[in-house]
Amino acid sequence: MSEANEANDCLFCKIIAGEIPSAKVYEDETTYAFKDINPKAKVHVLVVPKRHYANVAELAEKDPAELAHIAEVAASIARDAYNGSFRLVFNTGLDAGQTVFHVHAHVLTGETLDE
Ligand code: 5GP
Ligand code: ZN
């Protein structure tokens, strides 16, 4: 399957395009953030690049500035929603629990997190 076809079938590309509804938390030219549908913390936000990359390794290789920007957006969300503390998780690959193959940062905050 080509990259274009993967993107066409991609759940998060459809969310970014507004074809599937989501609870928007933040948006700019390159980046979109929305509430996770199945939150694992009091505040659980997904931050994604608008361009389709399969995982954080591909993003780091092809657009490192966007990866850094995602970390800044995560910090800003944690400051707005809580006291600035947050956990940033990129599940990468099936064995790590990645289920959506459009890179996304899980931002977990809003409470004291379990270790
Ligand atoms: P992964 O398991 O790939 O690291 O994370 C995928 C995340 O996407 C999961 O936490 C899951 O709850 C979330 N998710 C899956 N489908 C949807 C959806 O349609 N809307 C939203 N807002 N989150 C979703
Ligand atoms: Zn996508």
Query: Tens digits of per-residue pLDDT, 24-81?
Result: 999 999 999 999 999 999 999 999 999 999 999 999 999 999 999 999 999 999 999 9
How many domains would you assign to the chain?
1
* pTM of structure: 0.95
Confirm whether 115 is domain-assigned. no
Domain range for 27 is 3-109
Question: Which among 44, 52, 102, 104 is annotated as catalytic?
Answer: 104
Q: What is the pLDDT of residue 2?
A: 44
Structural domain includes residue 93: yes
The CATH number of whichever domain residue 41 belongs to comes to 3.30.428.10
Q: What is the pLDDT of residue 7?
A: 66
**pLDDT value at 17 more than 80:** yes
109 vs 8, higher pLDDT: 109
CA-CA distances (angstroms) from residue 9 to 5, 19, 48, 55, 68? 6, 12, 16, 16, 26
104 is catalytic: yes
Rounded to whole angstroms, how far apart are CA atoms 14 and 72? 24
Q: Is residue 114 part of a domain?
A: no
Mutate to test the pocket of ligand 1, among 19, 38, 87 (most ligand atoms within 8 A of CB): 38
